[in-house]
């Protein structure tokens, strides 16, 4: 199954959109079985990142990379955690990033969610906005993938 024309058009609103569209199509084609069995999100994002690295040769693509330069990657309080007394920064692990390690050159950050997840997507969208505002990512994208027999992209949202 491929992306719809509307999804491709939506992705192309941002510079990395063409590469992301091609990679999502590749994921849907090559890893239908992984999506169909509702595999762990990390397995899905690893495969996506592997394909994306081939299309972003001048950048490094990492999964769950928790460094900002050499320090742990942190976001200030964005109402992401249930403890309202916690106003200190939290270490974060973006699902997939395109960057230059050891620098502040942060090109693209993606948060993935499986369609079977019960966690509110607004949490991921707040994180994505935080990555852009606080860590300087140029582009931030939320991707929801269909699982349990539905190898499709069910939602896309640039933050």
pLDDT exceeds 90 at position 131: yes
pLDDT exceeds 80 at position 150: no
The band of 84, judged by pLDDT with boundaries at 50, 70 and 90, is very low
Helix (H/G/I), strand (E/B), else coil: 55:
helix
pLDDT for res 1: 64
Identify which of 42, 41, 104 has the alpha carbon closest to the alpha carbon of residue 67.
Answer: 104
Average pLDDT over residues 19-48: 95
Show the tokens assigned to 148. 């349990």
Identify which of 135, 130, 127 has the alpha carbon closest to the alpha carbon of residue 99.
Answer: 135
Average pLDDT over residues 98-103: 94
pLDDT for res 90: 61
pLDDT exceeds 50 at position 83: no
pLDDT for res 87: 45
pLDDT exceeds 90 at position 86: no
């Amino acid at each position: 199954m491929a992306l719809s024309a509307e999804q491709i058009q939506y992705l192309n609103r941002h510079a990395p959109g063409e590469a992301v569209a091609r990679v999502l199509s590749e994921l849907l084609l090559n890893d239908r079985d992984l999506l169909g069995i509702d595999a762990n999100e990390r397995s899905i994002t690893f495969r996506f990142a592997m394909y994306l690295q081939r299309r972003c040769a001048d950048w490094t693509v990492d999964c769950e990379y928790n460094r900002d330069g050499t320090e742990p990657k942190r976001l200030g309080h964005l109402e992401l955690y249930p403890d309202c007394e916690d106003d200190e920064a939290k270490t974060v692990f973006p699902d997939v990033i395109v960057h230059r390690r050891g620098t502040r050159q942060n090109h693209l950050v993606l948060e993935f969610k499986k369609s079977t997840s019960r966690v509110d997507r607004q949490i991921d969208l707040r994180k994505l906005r935080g990555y852009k505002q606080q860590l300087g990512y140029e582009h931030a994208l939320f991707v929801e993938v269909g699982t349990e027999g539905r190898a499709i992209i069910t939602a896309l949202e640039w933050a």
